[in-house]
Structure 1
Amino acid sequence: MSHIWNRRQFLTLLGGSILLPSACQRVESRPNRSANSFTIFDALLYAEKPKIGMTPIRVDDRGFWKNKDRSRPDRDACQQNARTASKDFSHFVIDIEHWKMNINQAGKDTVQDNIKKYVEIIQWMREAAPSLKLGVYAVPPVRDYWTPVRNQPAGLTSWRAVNQFLKPIAEAADFIVPSLYTFYADIPGWVTYARGNIEEAQQFGKPVYPFLWCRYHTSNRLRGNQFIEGDFWRTQLETVRDRGANGVVLWDWFGHDSPRTNILDTRQGWWQETVKFEATL
């Protein structure tokens, strides 16, 4: 989730895919529709952090293989991963980011094979731990910034097709996990991008828990890894809630800091706004 990408990969991510039916209205014109309940999931990788009532969630990118070959998952590894996680967590996010999932970039055969692997992982884990709720990080929908921001019918239609192709993953999963990381210090742009991606996620009829990272994405040359300003962060939390998402997953890792400290810095504006926001739920 925090991989450092080069500029070409970044531009491909943000501009390579495109979007919703031509009949859709502009995203920002649609009314808010808050869900009946809203859960803040804690995926913050700090050993020391205040307890404010967030729900722990397991996010893992390693426990699906027996060796270094990550091309095919291993059933025994997946099931052991599920059994272990179910002892401490109710929700689990499968975070595999090296499989290509965009048919406009990788082709349908490649993506279809990767869909099959995701569905296998979900089935194997559910067999081992039926109570564990499972979601897949960032697919579907495939994260796209510029398509909802530009709001061009052809792009929206193409993006919808990309995401519809991934429907078997959504059907197998218990919840949908769109990624809404922050690429630019453009609050209105982020809101439009987030609304579009949330609406794409909602079409599958499952609970939606977007991922938010409290830092600017590493691809931003000026602000990469810097903490997001408090007012911007509060806007992100409120946008996710007000667009009808069922909750949000908060993620961060202390390895971005120098010197590294495994203690959450409660002085940061994003954290203070999180505490205030949680108190309103």
Structure 2
Amino acid sequence: MGGSVLVGLDGTGNSEPAVRWGAEEAAFRNLPLHLLHSWVSQPWSVSLVPEDADRRRYGTEVLRRAEATARDLHPGIPVKVEQVAEEAADALAERSGECTLLVLGSRGHDSIAGFLLGSVSLRVLGRAKCPVVTVREEESSVGPGPEIVVGVQETGTEADAVLDYAFTTASVHHARLHAVRARTTATAVGTDAARPQGEAESTTAEREALSASLAPWREKFPDVRVIEEVLDGRAVPSLLSACARAGLLVIGRRTQRTPLPLGPAVLAVLHHSRCPVAVVPRT
């Protein structure tokens, strides 16, 4: 399956759920776990410490606790710890090209500034070359559980990276996969009332497009139970509704976006989703 499962640690409360999630993924995928901490990107209270040696000692302790957590959960997995003297976002983005999955912790739903405005997580999400899972600090589960939701708005090869990750993860965890496609109705965008016949034809076309996108992946992963659903409405509300009881939401992001690397839909899902979110760069 490729490289390791990489977990970025800042030493705050949001690190432990990310470590547990990363250890679970490493064990299920039979991959090594790589724990990384940047001593030059430590939390504000720690970064005020004037001595570099003290900050390095703090980083060593962060990694020691994280490794102990991972080994307690899955004693047999190989674990690598790394403390770096470069910015966390740069280090994680650089190493993402060599790993299968990157896991990041994020603050809770009430801390908008900590997650949405210039955080390390956002900068990594926009540059990572592999799927990135964000796990909030209040998350108690490890792994996606019985159901994974995947958003399928693109067709053809544009959807391949997202569906590859979603099907692989569902297969590894023996989870069902709920594939969701949003259909924006005339009413939803504020136009005149839609003609019933036109609405029916549009729904049929969207269902056919969704089925066509999933067909080769169903064949490749016959063990994965798939639920296909076309929902009326915009993409973000549809996905958030579908994942209300899921353990993981999988979405794609466009690469080479400028000046903002993440689009408004991705940002909205990251902020409002009640479950961990996997953001997959489209190739």
Please give the TM-score of this superposition, normalised by the length of structure 1: 0.29
Larger Rg: 2
**Higher RCO (Cα < 8 Å, 6 or more apart):** 1
Query: TM-score when scaled to structure 2?
Result: 0.29
